[in-house]
Structure 1
Amino acid sequence: MNRYLDQYEDVILREIKAQFPDIAVDKLMEEYIKAGLILRENKRYYLNFPTLESLDSLELDQEIFVREASPVYQALLEQSFETELRNQINAAILVEKTDFARIKMTLSNYFYKVKQQYPLTEKQQELYDILGDVNPEYVLKYMTAFLLKFLKKDQLMQKCRDIFVDSLVVLGYIVQNEDGKYELAIDFDKERLTFYLA
């Protein structure tokens, strides 16, 4: 409906109903009007939110409306954002690069989508099958504790199966070598205790 109103201005309710016969348009329009997304003036309906024309002040998770045919949309698809995850137990920081739609496989995207109850990608679903809907602070505590062991060693052995180690593998933070030991697969700034997932 948003696309329709974006393409055709000065539309009356009868025209909208004709375009969307399978939808309870009256009720939906009232909800959109109450939410401030659609404006009704003189029995005509208009979009009531600005379209994104520039990425200059765009922030991750900002609600926007952008025309798919615009050059801004293509630039948005290529835009990269940086997220930081910290916990209260240790000083480790996980820095991850992500996209605006949060499709890329990162821990930050996983936490965000689970919290917002958004659909998960196939890879994110794989992580969900391991972790489920879990407290981010709890996960970070155990993941960073394992990652910080790389301060002393280049390879780590894990004797018992561990969901946090399995999750780090799925996320691409670590890989298991042919000897069964784990190695870092990302950059690690040992002075700043910061892990970088590009």
Structure 2
Amino acid sequence: MNYFYSPKNKVYQKLVADPLFSPVVVYLSGQPEPVILRELKKVFPQRKFEHFLDQLIEAGLVKREQRRYELSFPIFTEEEANYQEIIASQAQRLSEQLAKLSQDEQQFILGETLWTTCFEEDSKVFYGYKGETEETTQKTIAGNEAYQFVSISTTKNFPVTLANYFFVQKNKPTQFPDFLPLATLLGDVNEAYYFDQVEVIIERIRLNKFKNRRPNIFLESLIETKTIQSEPTFELLLPVLENEKELSDVQFTELGSLTESEAAFVHRRMYEEVKHALGLTAYSYIKAK
């Protein structure tokens, strides 16, 4: 089962990371009626369990009424027909609109306009999802004031890009062996310094004025991550989104009849459907400020 919530919510992040979280959720979700503390303690005899349970209650993820406990967030599945009908209808409508645009525009809209709508980062919504497709789409960003490198990818398809690399370095460097060659190349390079050097290269390539006077780790890393190509000439391989460029309009259907959690679930699944329909399972682009 996967759990979805705002990446800004550090309380949820800490609770979900606790080894007790998933077993407690699975147990409570499988009970036909709310359970008493004595029953819970039989299943979870760990010393810290009661304290952890109090934290779940304080965070609003478990509800306690009349000395009985139950989950206070929904768990969705792929089998729920009502949601699937809404998701399929919304996804088809959006896919048809985006199919008329260039791939670059599709990437920008999926990564910017549609992402903002489907992944509200300030939302307090929390829900679980259990289905055949449990991969999690995430957006990573790295760069400086001039250029931001953006990657949209999944937990199962996590390509070696600049945005993903700096995300890995900050979070779980040992769990992504594909990034080791790039880590060996860059060493402990300072991120701000790195992107200041990369900015110069990108600017010169965009102006067709870049000349490779001598090899360096900045140029090599751009080639390694397929940000640029060196043959037959130096060219950017990623599309660039200018801040002043207006993204094409996309028409959304209001989901007023759904709860906040239901709307969040539908939006996320809709995003996945559209992404797969357009063949954009993993992609990157550059935002120029």
Alpha-carbon distance between aligned partners in 2 of 1:26 and 1:45, rounded to the nearest angstrom: 12
Identify the match of residue 223 of structure 2 among 169, 175, 185. Answer: 169
Unpaired runs of 5+ residues, structure 2, are 1-23, 77-82, 91-116, 246-282
Cα deviation digits, residues 38-59 of structure 1 (max 9, x gap): 1211221122234466878531
Q: TM-score, normalised by structure 2?
A: 0.46
Cα deviation digits, residues 34-82 of structure 1 (max 9, x gap): 222212112211222344668785317677432223xxx73x7486x76
Cα displacement (A) at 1:128: 4.8
Greater share of residues in helix: 2
Give the equivalent residue in structure 2 for 1:49: 73
* Aligned alpha-carbon RMSD (Å): 4.4
SS of 1:33's equivalent in the other structure is helix
Identify the match of residue 40 of structure 1 among 56, 59, 64. Answer: 64
Cα deviation digits, residues 75-103 of structure 1 (max 9, x gap): x7486x76666632x4x453433348994
Do residues 13 (structure 1) and 100 (structure 2) align?
no
Count of residue pairs the alignment pairs up: 184
SS of 1:168's equivalent in the other structure is helix
SS of 1:66's equivalent in the other structure is strand
**CA 1:189–1:28: 2 relative to 1, 3 Å:** closer
Comparing both chains, which one has the higher relative contact order based on Cα–Cα distances under 8 Å and sequence gaps of 6 or more? 2
1:1-198 alignment to 2 at 5 Å? 1-8=24-31, 9-22=33-46, 24-51=48-75, 57-59=117-119, 64-69=126-131, 74=133, 77=135, 87-88=144-145, 90=146, 92-99=147-154, 103-112=158-167, 114=169, 117=171, 120-124=175-179, 127-128=182-183, 130-131=185-186, 136-153=191-208, 157=212, 159-162=214-217, 164-175=218-229, 184-187=236-239, 197=284
Q: TM-score, normalised by structure 1?
A: 0.62
Unpaired runs of 5+ residues, structure 1, are none
Amino-acid identity (%): 25
Contact 2:141/2:164 (8 A) holds in 1: no
Cα deviation digits, residues 2-28 of structure 1 (max 9, x gap): 222222241222333333345631121
Cα deviation digits, residues 127-173 of structure 1 (max 9, x gap): 455557776544332223212222244985261432x3343234321
**CA 1:32–1:18: 2 relative to 1, 3 Å:** same
